[in-house]
Amino acid sequence: MRDVTSTIDRWLAEESPIALATVIDTWGSAPRRVGAKMVVSAAGLIAGSVSGGCVEGAVIEASLEALVSRQSQLLHFGVADETAWDVGLACGGSIDVFVEPLDAICYRFLHDLLDKDAYFATVTIIKGPADLLGQKLIVQRGGRLFGEINPEIDGATAARARTALARGNSERLVIDLPDTGLEPFEVFIEISHPAPSLIVIGGVHIAIALTAMAKTLGYKTVIIDPRRSFGSKERFPHVDRLIQAWPEEAFDQVQITSSTAVASLTHDPKIDDPALQFVLATPAFYVGALGSNKTHQERCRRLLATGVPEERLSRIHGPIGLKIGAQTPEEIAIAIMAEIVATSHDSKIGTA
């Protein structure tokens, strides 16, 4: 959702009706993952993507219909579907997309949670009685609810959402509550994780390109460097936070969670070693350090001597970055960011 909020905010300010399309399920080679969003204005403008281009035309058409009818609908596209060739999804995959008129009140509450980096679940009814279709319930980790679907089913639905929060994964499921007299209905429980963050130790040239790439990918960026000529606003006007302090002091000012990546780039043991010593004791999903194999071996020996357990040293990606033959600062930044992304998918970030 974060990639389309600025567009939604602008369209709401212009009082334009908005339709929201969300990927609910995928199979095979569908190019976007579950939870991907696209928004469509009444004028047919779009932001975001649900398929990388192959079904967007059909989803836009359905979105415009939803804005007129004020009715939500679940769309299915796939190679086994006779519409597959019409929408262009003929590469061996299929995708389900839920299209709904945007509820501005619900969106503003959700936007506030995103701004606070909250961990929460949004429950949307995607199949069931017409009067329930598209209804939402937002469940926060502490149990707080926003919205109301139906007093008879809210409790049971919220319980399913809390289970999904505990697992950390979005899911689609059928809920059957025969005692209520309602027919079974299907929900999509979408888990919203805190935005990932990248903390870079050292305002070196590589860090300029690395933080720019990270922001493009939705990461919050922090530069830590006690050397004012390196960690200056002139060099890093684009980062979210600049801390001109030694690591021991700087880490008192930031929170490191399982959504945090740390790249230590100064190549100076006086700065890198204390930073790594601290970070290796945190749940950061990625820890990388610049330097050759020889430099990294020497670094590990120093850290061992300070009391860092040997098993923690295996967490360090050193030399940092994927091996792509990178030479320039920008190429090295690409190698580092690619390794961070690969690691994030392996570690299921955002569950802390």
Residues 340 and 216 placed together within one structural domain of the fold = yes
Residues 248 and 266 placed together within one structural domain of the fold = yes
Give the model's confidence band at 352: pLDDT under 50 very low, under 70 low, under 90 confident, else very high.
very low
For residue 319, whether the previous peptide bond is cis, meaning omega lies within 30 degrees of 0, is yes
What SS3 class is residue 220?
strand
Residues 148 and 221 placed together within one structural domain of the fold = no
347, amino acid identity: S
Domain count, the chain: 3
| pLDDT at 84 > cutoff 50 | no
Using CA atoms, how far residue 98 sits from 36, 61, 63, 125, 196, in Å, is 11, 13, 10, 10, 26
Establish how many alpha carbons lie within 13 A of residue 170's alpha carbon, considering only the half-sphere containing its beta carbon: 19
Task: Using the 3D structure, point to which of 146, 177, 192 is the last residue of a domain.
Answer: 192
Q: If 0-12 CB within 10 Å is exposed, 13-18 middle and 19+ buried, where does residue 68 land?
A: exposed
Residues 94 and 109 placed together within one structural domain of the fold = no
pLDDT of amino acid 181: 79
Structural domain range at position 81: 5-102
Residues 84 and 156 placed together within one structural domain of the fold = no
Task: Using the 3D structure, point to which of 102, 126, 151 is the last residue of a domain.
Answer: 102
Rounded Cα gap, residues 64 and 56, in angstroms:
12
Residues 92 and 109 placed together within one structural domain of the fold = no
Please write down the long-range contacts of 173-178, taking CB distance under 8 Å and 24 or more positions apart.
177/152, 177/153
Residues 208 and 343 placed together within one structural domain of the fold = yes
Prediction pTM value: 0.76
Q: What is the pLDDT of residues 8-49, one digit of tens each?
A: 999 999 999 999 999 999 876 666 789 999 999 999 999 999
Give the model's confidence band at 349: pLDDT under 50 very low, under 70 low, under 90 confident, else very high.
very low
Four-residue CA torsion sign, 39, 43, 45, 51? positive
Percent of the chain with pLDDT over 70: 92
Q: What is the mean pLDDT of the chain?
A: 89
Task: Using the 3D structure, point to which of 128, 159, 192 is the last residue of a domain.
Answer: 192
Strand order in the sheet with 73-78: 46-48, 37-41, 18-28, 93-101, 73-78
Give the model's confidence band at 79: pLDDT under 50 very low, under 70 low, under 90 confident, else very high.
low
Q: What is the pLDDT of residues 91-115, one digit of tens each?
A: 556 889 999 999 999 999 999 999 8
Residues 210 and 333 placed together within one structural domain of the fold = yes
- Is 352 within a domain? no
